[in-house]
Structure 1
Amino acid sequence: MSDFLNLSGKTFLVQGVANKKSVAWFIAQALEEQGARVVYAVRSEARKKSLETQLAGRPVFICDSEQEGACAQLAAEVAGAGFAPLHGLVHSIAFANYSEGFKTFAETKRKDFLQATAISAFSLVELAEAFKPHLAKGASVVTIGISSLLVTPDNYGYMGPIKAALESCSRFLAKSFGASGTEVRFNVVGAGPLKTSASAGIPGYLESYLFAEKLTFRKRALETREVANVAVFLLSERSSGLNGTTLVVDAGLGSNYFDKEVIRLAMRPEAK
């Protein structure tokens, strides 16, 4: 059987594994299943220790993207350990401070917005620039966004605009790297609501997740592995014609706002 994705023997950096529910973990697993070598980057020594069993025998590096210079240090360490050139990067990190509970977007604190922007969006720029000398020609960079930048969910707060910034950063990076002749591509996977540990920290997320499930065409929630599979396709040379774009993976919920069952429940909530 031919290796359609041609990932075997290639090396990828995956940033953002927190546990076995992480999108980054599913992407890494899919890459390894295809015969690729995966280098892992996690945010702290504590996180690395918590993943000792899960990532046993795999190369794991530390990168706290909130700290200036962290991505440059990561790139130097990864290259110094002999893992360059890399054939792709996966940026799957995000952070928002919801410790004070739900607030309207207008009440967003400056420090919280800037912190979340640095970690969730600008870190992609820093990561790409740091690894630029260590990427193979035609390498692919993939980041994880959201399925729609037009919706305004109350419980997502200021992360909506930050995810919009992330998507824009990806497009501008695609242009910057394209002009340099490296042929490095940048794309976004726009994921619908998922059952991850990170999303569980969003106030009221469970209700939003169940609502989204009702809006999918299949009436079954999006699975994390489905998002990961699209990310792996974007990392492969089979997606070479895609650059500076967002592939939405939402099982159809973005096209099903007027589903008759959801309308019935909304207009007659007593109806089960």
Structure 2
Amino acid sequence: MSDFLQLTGKRFLVLGVANRKSVACAIAKSLEDEGATVIYSVRSDARRASLAGLLKDRPVFVCDVEQDGAAGRLAAEVAAAGHAPLHGIVHSIAFANYAEGLKPFHETKRADFLQATAISAFSLVEMASAFRPHLAKNASVVTMGISSLRVTPDNYGYMGPIKAALESAARFLAKSFSAESEVRFNVVGAGPLKTSASAGIPGYLESYLYAEKMTFRKRGLATQEVANTALFLLSERSSGINGATLVVDAGLGSNTFDQEIIRLAMRPDPGARASRPQEP
């Protein structure tokens, strides 16, 4: 069987593995299945300890991207350990403080917005800059976005604009790096997934079930399907794609006027009829 993706023997840094259900974990495992070497970066010593059974003897580094200078320190440590040059980086990091529950967007706190931006979007810029000397000339950097930046889900709140910033940053990085290399930056625009991170979003289960009905196939998106797209973008088979977002949503974004959804939405509400005043 031919090595179609040509990933065998290549080295990739994967940022953001939280547990075996995370997108980053699915991508990393798929890379290893294709014969690649994966270097892992997690946010804390505690997280590294919790993943000891899963990652076993793999190289695992700690990097809290919220801390100033963390990306530079990580790049130096990875290079010093002999893991350079890297043929790609997977940026699968995001955080939003939903501790106070759902709030209208206009009530977003400055501190929460800036913290989420630093972790979820600007960390891509910092990582790209820090690892620039340690990337192969034709390396591929892939970050995890969302399937649509035009939707305004109440329970996603200020992360919508931040994901827009992440996607824009990927395009600007693609242009910036193009002056001296062929390093590519692309985004996987994933639809709703069943991950532990998603479970922390208020009201996410209902949104996921709704999105499942909105897909053409009436079946939710699988994490592995997103990982498969990331692998393609990390491989040289996608060499003609740069500064782009590949949407993976099983048709969700193109199925607004689905007959089943319309029927369910327009179905009379028995409670509303019961509360309506009776005519004399």
Supply the AA of the counterpart residue of 1:169: A
Match of 2:91 in 1: 91
Distance in 2 (CA, whole Å) between partners of 1:195 and 1:270 is 30
Q: Alpha-carbon deviation of 1:269?
A: 6.2
Tell me the SS of whatever aligns to 2:218. coil
Match of 2:257 in 1: 258
Deviations 1:139-168 (A, max 9, x none): 000000000000000000000000000000
Deviations 1:11-35 (A, max 9, x none): 0000000001100000001100000
Supply the AA of the counterpart residue of 1:232: L
Is the deviation greater in 97-106 or in 260-269? 260-269
Supply the AA of the counterpart residue of 1:265: L
Tell me the SS of whatever aligns to 1:89. strand
Match of 1:223 in 2: 222
Distance in 2 (CA, whole Å) between partners of 1:270 and 1:188 is 41
Written as runs of structure 1 = structure 2, the 5 A alignment for 1:48-59 is 48-59=48-59
Written as runs of structure 1 = structure 2, the 5 A alignment for 1:183-202 is 183-202=182-201
Match of 2:232 in 1: 233
Match of 2:209 in 1: 210
Distance in 1 (CA, whole Å) between partners of 2:220 and 2:268 is 21
Match of 2:159 in 1: 159
Identity of aligned residues (%): 77
Supply the AA of the counterpart residue of 1:14: V
Q: Alpha-carbon deviation of 1:2?
A: 1.4
Supply the AA of the counterpart residue of 1:201: G
Match of 1:168 in 2: 168
Distance in 2 (CA, whole Å) between partners of 1:214 and 1:155 is 18
Match of 2:35 in 1: 35
Distance in 1 (CA, whole Å) between partners of 2:3 and 2:197 is 34
Pair 156,269 (structure 1): closer, same or farther in 2 beyond 3 Å: farther
Distance in 2 (CA, whole Å) between partners of 1:14 and 1:94 is 14
Q: Alpha-carbon deviation of 1:182?
A: 1.3
Distance in 1 (CA, whole Å) between partners of 2:213 and 2:256 is 10
Q: Alpha-carbon deviation of 1:53?
A: 0.1
Deviations 1:242-271 (A, max 9, x none): 000000000000000110001101111669
Tell me the SS of whatever aligns to 1:156. coil
Supply the AA of the counterpart residue of 2:232: F
Tell me the SS of whatever aligns to 1:68. coil
Q: Alpha-carbon deviation of 1:64?
A: 0.2
Distance in 1 (CA, whole Å) between partners of 2:83 and 2:159 is 33
Match of 1:105 in 2: 105
Pair 70,263 (structure 1): closer, same or farther in 2 beyond 3 Å: same
Match of 1:268 in 2: 267
Supply the AA of the counterpart residue of 2:171: R
Supply the AA of the counterpart residue of 2:196: S
Pair 265,8 (structure 1): closer, same or farther in 2 beyond 3 Å: same
Tell me the SS of whatever aligns to 1:53. helix
Structure 1 consecutive aligned stretches of length 4 or more whose deviation exceeds 3 Å: none
Tell me the SS of whatever aligns to 2:178. helix
Distance in 2 (CA, whole Å) between partners of 1:69 and 1:22 is 26
Pair 268,187 (structure 1): closer, same or farther in 2 beyond 3 Å: same
Match of 2:44 in 1: 44
Q: Does 1:77 align with 2:73?
A: no
Deviations 1:21-52 (A, max 9, x none): 10000000110000000000000000000000
Supply the AA of the counterpart residue of 1:225: Q
Q: Does 1:4 align with 2:4?
A: yes
Give TM-score, length-normalised by structure 1: 0.98
Pair 188,19 (structure 1): closer, same or farther in 2 beyond 3 Å: same
- Unaligned 5+ segments in structure 1 are none
Match of 2:126 in 1: 126
Deviations 1:195-251 (A, max 9, x none): 000000000000000000000000000000000000000000000000000000000
Q: Alpha-carbon deviation of 1:91?
A: 0.2
Distance in 1 (CA, whole Å) between partners of 2:26 and 2:172 is 27
Q: Does 1:114 align with 2:142?
A: no
Count how many residue pairs are aligned between Structure 1 and Structure 2: 270
Supply the AA of the counterpart residue of 2:176: S
Tell me the SS of whatever aligns to 2:182. coil
Distance in 1 (CA, whole Å) between partners of 2:48 and 2:266 is 48
